[in-house]
């Protein structure tokens, strides 16, 4: 499934978003646009800002606030990627060397901070205290989720509930906020706002579940990032939770050695992938993503029909089709 319908639906607005992104990535400090552009020009899908724009269309919003908020959302996302690759010690992003490999961790973190600051300046331009609240809350929650994840790392007794808490905070919260700001600035009531938010949350869950399956089951060429990053970080994602539940004593000892002790040797990643495929851990993770995708689509049924709804459905299918 492609995302062409969504891309076409928002293409006029997205041109404005892209222009704004380029202008706000500027700075007299030359290293800032250099690093920011490395990521901005690297062919990201702009999925989150597309959600903001699609919901603005769904609610017939007239004005420029949605464009500015969409650019803010993408800057927040870009800031999280710069920080994430430092935290995760990742080497590849969007098919290129991660910024931290080219300019170092310090510059990556600081340019992320700059983009986050620029994002908040843009939000203020919209003059919606509620939209500012929604996005600033998301920003705090994302950081909270990352800290929570840090505490759960290398703990193979991590529960499904804890995992869900982490992915809700680190990933789904931004999807939810990206969706919720549009009904807010279009002056829709609480119920509509809650539905848009719920859609974003469920899509976000699906997105991260797929991401976590692909970290073992994908191909680096498709992902634009290395396979096995989560394994090397000792991250306890859903595939691992399933594998721990299902594994033999020997398998459990393997997971503990690799993920708890960080004692990973040649061939261990291949063995991990083989186990996760054999015991259905990856397939069942993808099934959970499908379930959340189905809930997201169900959530749309309470919202106005039309091309925006159709495009949002497509976005759900697209996120899941990355693995199926």
48 lies in the site for ligand 2DE, by CB under 6 A: no
* Cα–Cα dist 53/9, whole Å: 9
Q: Is 92 strand, coil or helix?
A: strand
**Window contacting ligand 2DE (CB under 6 A); options: 81-89, 264-272, 283-291, 309-317:** 81-89
Interface with ligand 2DE (CB under 6 A), residue from 171, 182, 279, 285: 171
180: tokens are 């919720």
Taking the complex as a whole, the smallest distance from the CB of residue 211 to ligand 2DE amounts, in Å, to 5
Report DSSP letters for 42-88, one per residue.
S----HHHHHHHHHHHHTT--SSHHHHHHHHHHHHHHHHHHHHHHHT
User: Least distance in Å: CB of 220 to ligand 2DE?
Assistant: 12
DSSP 194-210: HHHHHHHHHHHHHHHHH
Separation CA 255–CA 156 (nearest Å) = 8
Q: Give the residue, chosen from 6, 79, 209, 316, that forms a contact with ligand 2DE under the rule CB under 6 A.
A: 79
Look at residue 29 and give its three-state secondary structure: coil
147 binds ligand 2DE (CB under 6 A): no
Among 73, 211, 227, 315, binds ligand 2DE (CB under 6 A): 211
> Helix (H, G, I), strand (E, B), or coil: what is residue 164?
helix
Per CB under 5 A, which region of 38-46, 82-90, 104-112, 195-203 contacts Mg ion?
Answer: 82-90
Part of the chain binding ligand 2DE (CB under 6 A), chosen from 76-84, 123-131, 238-246, 275-283: 76-84
Q: Which does 142 bind (CB under 5 to 8 A by kind): Mg ion, ligand 2DE, none?
A: ligand 2DE
Candidate list 51, 211, 286, 323; residue touching Mg ion; CB under 5 A: 211
User: CA 266 to CA 29: how far, in whole Å?
Assistant: 43
* Encoded tokens for 41: 């020009």
Q: Is 88 in the site for Mg ion (CB under 5 A)?
A: yes
The residues of the shown chain that bind ligand 2DE, judged by CB under 6 A, are 76, 79-80, 83-84, 87-88, 90, 112, 116, 139, 142-143, 146, 170-171, 211
């Amino acid at each position: 499934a492609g995302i062409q319908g969504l891309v076409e639906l928002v293409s006029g607005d997205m041109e404005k978003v892209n222009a704004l992104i380029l202008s706000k990535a500027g700075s007299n400090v030359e290293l800032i646009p250099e690093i920011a552009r490395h990521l901005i020009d690297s062919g990201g899908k702009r999925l989150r800002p597309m959600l903001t724009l699609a919901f603005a269309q769904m609610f017939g919003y007239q004005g420029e606030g949605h464009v500015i908020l969409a650019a803010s959302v993408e800057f927040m996302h870009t800031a999280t990627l710069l920080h994430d690759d430092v935290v995760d010690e990742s080497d590849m992003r969007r098919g290129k060397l991660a910024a931290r490999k080219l300019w170092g961790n310090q510059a990556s973190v600081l340019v992320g901070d700059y983009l986050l600051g620029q994002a908040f300046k843009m939000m203020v331009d919209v003059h919606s205290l509620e939209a500012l609240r929604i996005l600033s809350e998301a920003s705090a929650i994302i950081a909270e989720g990352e800290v929570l994840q840090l505490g759960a790392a290398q703990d193979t007794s991590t529960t499904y509930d804890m995992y869900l808490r982490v992915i809700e905070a680190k990933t789904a919260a931004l999807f939810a906020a990206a969706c919720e700001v549009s009904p807010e600035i279009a002056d829709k009531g609480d119920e509509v706002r809650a539905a848009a938010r719920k859609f974003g949350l469920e899509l976000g869950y699906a997105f991260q579940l797929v991401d976590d399956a692909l970290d073992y089951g994908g191909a680096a060429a498709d992902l634009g990032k290395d396979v096995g990053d989560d394994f090397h970080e000792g991250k306890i994602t859903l595939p691992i939770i399933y594998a721990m539940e299902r594994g033999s004593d020997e398998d459990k000892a393997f997971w503990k050695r690799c993920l708890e002790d960080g004692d990973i040797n040649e061939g261990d990643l291949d063995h991990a992938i083989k186990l996760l495929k054999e015991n259905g851990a990856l397939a069942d993770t993808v099934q959970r993503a499908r379930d959340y995708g189905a809930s997201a689509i169900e959530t749309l049924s309470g919202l106005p029909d039309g091309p925006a709804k159709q495009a949002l459905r497509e976005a759900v299918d697209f996120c899941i089709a990355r693995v199926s």
